[in-house]
Amino acid sequence: MANAKYLLPYNPPYDWGWMTAFLGARALAGIEQFDDQGPEGFSYKRTLAIKEEDVSVSGWLSWRPRESLHAVELEVSLSLVPHIETVKRRVRNLLDLDADPQAIAQALGPLAEEAAGLRLPGCIDSFELAVRAILGQLVSVKMAATFCTRLARLCGETIDTPYEALTHLFPTPARVAALEVDALRALGVQAKRAACLINLAKSIENGELPLYGITDARQGMKQLLAMPGIGGWTASYIAMRAWGERDLFLHSDYLIKQRFPNMTPGTINRYAEIWKPWRSYATLLIWNSPNWKPE
């Protein structure tokens, strides 16, 4: 098996149980594979395509926690080695390896007392995450993953890997932009959502939305919100996970509203200001604290 290995360090603590459960529940068949063999044996594998300066390459990567080293062991196919810095950056974004858990916990106070190692799940590919967010609107996590898997089988390129379960690349914006609404409706996707997805892909292809070059998440959200079919929750979710925005509070989220009974979204948003500049982490912590109540 031709590959290359690297170590990506991080600052402990790290809640690997939570992160792997989160990512595992959203795994796409044919593109991602999780093997759960304990803290040191757990591994994640996936296919990946990278386009940089008109050069496109594809291959596979695998990572697993090395908790005793406070690092992640990364393996990549030799085809991806010329782009290893991009691969490393994307894996670090996916796993939020650059976070300072002590600083975050100190700022969030009691909210983070029992979850100092919780990280913000990012993504490997910004377009893939945006597609997941749009197809995940008003459906379960499992159904969203099912839609994305169907999309990959419809228009994702096939790929040979050493792993039997990894057979497809996630579709590129160009491939999705070439689809008709009816093709997505045949997968079970609602017509308006299908049109939104195709419009997003076309905007990326023609350069109107530089999804891979967003450095100002707030500006990127404005661009997303200007597109038909993309609301505040979806734009915020993309900003949090695709662009690593760490100070967004999803005040209109269904679970968040449940944790703040009898409070308007505006009041919830004002309450959340106590958690600046780490409100994205506060969102995650409240999601995962069913018994939490505002003081």
Q: What residues act catalytically?
A: 253
**Beta carbons of 60 and 181 less than 8 angstroms apart:** no
DSSP annotation of 11 reads P
User: What is the identity of the amino acid at 104?
Assistant: I
Helix axes 232-242, 217-225, angle to 10 degrees: 150
Q: Which residues of 116-136 are buried (b: 16+ CB within 10 A; e: fewer)?
A: bbbbbbbbbbbbbbbbbbbbb
2, 135, 288 from 153: Cα distances, Å? 26, 15, 33
| DSSP string across 103-146 | HHHHHHGGGGTT-TT------S-HHHHHHHHHHTTTS-HHHHHH
Q: Which two tokens stand for residue 158?
A: 């096939």
DSSP state at residue 291: T
* Phi, psi at 190, each rounded to 5°: -60, 145
Q: Quick check: helix, strand or coil at residue 166?
A: coil
Task: Give the bridge partners for 63, in sequence order.
Answer: 44, 74
Given the DSSP bridges, would you call strands 55-66 and 71-77 parallel, antiparallel or unpaired? antiparallel
